[in-house]
Amino acid sequence: MDFDSFVLAAATADLSEAEAEAARDHADAVEFRMDLADDPLAALDDYDGTLPLIVTNRAAWEGGKAAEEGRLDALETAVGYEAVEAVDVELRALTGAADTDAEEARALRDTAREQGVSVIASVHDFEATPTEPALRDLLDTAAEEGDVGKLAVTASDRADTLALLSATFDATAAGKTVATMAMGEAGRHTRAVAPVYGSRIGYAPVDPTKATAPGQYDLATLSELVERLETPNRP
């Protein structure tokens, strides 16, 4: 998947035809939350949508629902599907900071790249926004470990959002490919504004009642907001 320009992803655990059709009107890709799906590999078998897929099997220790056993194996199977063009792997898994096998995560990264699948190295902080120097370090490390460094933090005020946008701008200016957003109501606007500062991926649910993270706009709304801001990175 080409992240040289902004990609708006419809976040969902449902790859049915109806959901795919609804996403196609506004999205550039679909983020398939395997950890929230009942039978994710069967859903991938049946998928015949036109949008490329980003597959995510979020670990329970990073806010998801996937048990650790078999989690990365399922992702490795998923990257073999033609429709899958990017895979999300937690930075903590890749660096060994989590209680998991870093070698297995790195092997998944190698397999994905061999298949021509981009790797998103992701970081999620559901409690706070780190200091600006820490944000810069996290983005640098994530961008080094993956083809895209993704950072989602929780903002409590405008100072938090300003720090995130500043770190995003600086990382992009340094030639790194990053995706950033602040979760929660205080950071909600960053989902529309961060692309102006260089963020390359946005996430939104087709159905606003099925948000996969705090503070998400629905897909149609986020698409319109990004368009209105006339983001130069958007195709």
Tell me the residue ranges of DSSP E strands in 21-125. 29-33, 53-56, 84-90, 118-124
Residue recorded with tokens 């949508």: 49
Q: For residue 198, list its beta bridge partners.
A: none
Find out whether 120 and 201 touch, Cβ atoms under 8 Å: yes
Instruction: Quote the Cα angle for 217-187-151, to 5°.
Output: 90
Q: Which of 26, 65, 124, 210 is catalytic?
A: 124
Q: Which of 150, 176, 189, 210 is catalytic?
A: 150
Binding residues for 3-dehydroquinate: 31-33, 58, 191, 212, 216
Binding residues: 31-33, 58, 191, 212, 216
Q: How far is CA 28 from each of CA 100, 202, 223, rounded to the nearest angstrom?
A: 32, 10, 10
Identity of the residue numbered 87: V
CA-CA-CA-CA dihedral for 155, 135, 148, 89, to nearest 10: -80
- In DSSP notation, 74-102 reads HHHHHTTSTTEEEEEEEHHHHHT-SSS-H
Quote the distance between the C-alpha of residue 170 and its chain's center.
20
**Is 150 noted as a catalytic residue in this protein?**
yes
**Is 176 noted as a catalytic residue in this protein?**
no
Q: Active-site residues: which are they?
A: 124, 150
